[in-house]
Chains A and B, each alone.
Chain A
Amino acid sequence: KNEVEQSPQNLTAQEGEFITINCSYSVGISALHWLQQHPGGGIVSLFMLSSGKKKHGRLIATINIQEKHSSLHITASHPRDSAVYICAAPSNFGNEKLTFGTGTRLTIIP
């Protein structure tokens, strides 16, 4: 069973700050998912990455498969980035269930 840990649990920052959210997992995997959960509850997939780095707009995700660690960065943070960010690891068999982290609640203050 894969244990997925995130830090910090809560993060409050001023608009414009560079944000880093960390994720570590216990069992080697082929890829990791980063998800965003809006205040209303809906979940949006941000990234699925298996190596290196991916960038989408102001969001950057990195992964180190050997160290079983991934980070999500937000550059030039904005109040609309306020949400819960969740990392999730698939089972080793691929395209199967996701094991979710507890999430990081991000609040960006104008």
Chain B
Amino acid sequence: EPEVTQTPSHQVTQMGQEVILRCVPISNHLYFYWYRQILGQKVEFLVSFYNNEISEKSEIFDDQFSVERPDGSNFTLKIRSTKLEDSAMYFCASSARDREADTQYFGPGTRLTVL
């Protein structure tokens, strides 16, 4: 069964460093998402991406964050200068259908630890 994959599974970085989290969505999906979950808290929406551009972003997704689909298969989240409060589990998700509510398939997550 097709699945969303994410790399790395765990990333440790120093405050102020740039990190890139990578995701490979399911191949025929059209909508892509990044969510994050700070330890002990609920999952929060960061950004959605469709047709090679951001379709919606949350207040969390400030200028330090960017997303890209560089080669038609990978979907990346970059944090330009990490802060301690960026430590969280980051989930990528994808869904198939255009402009209709549909199941979102989640990757296994990347645990980001900022020291």
Contacts and interface: CB of A to CB of B under 8 A. Distances in A.
Contacts of B106: 35, 42-45
Interface in B25-80: 31, 33, 35, 37, 42-45, 48, 55-56, 58
Interface SS, A side: loop
> Size range of the interface on B?
20 to 34
Given A95-B95, A97-B56, A98-B35, A90 B44 contact: no
A50 interface: yes
A95 B109 contact: no
A33 B42 contact: no
B101 A31 contact: yes
Interface string A29-47: 1110101000001111100
B97 A101 contact: no
A7 interface: no
A91 B102 CA distance: 12
Interface of B: 31, 33, 35, 37, 42-45, 48, 55-56, 58, 89, 91, 95, 97-106, 108-109, 111
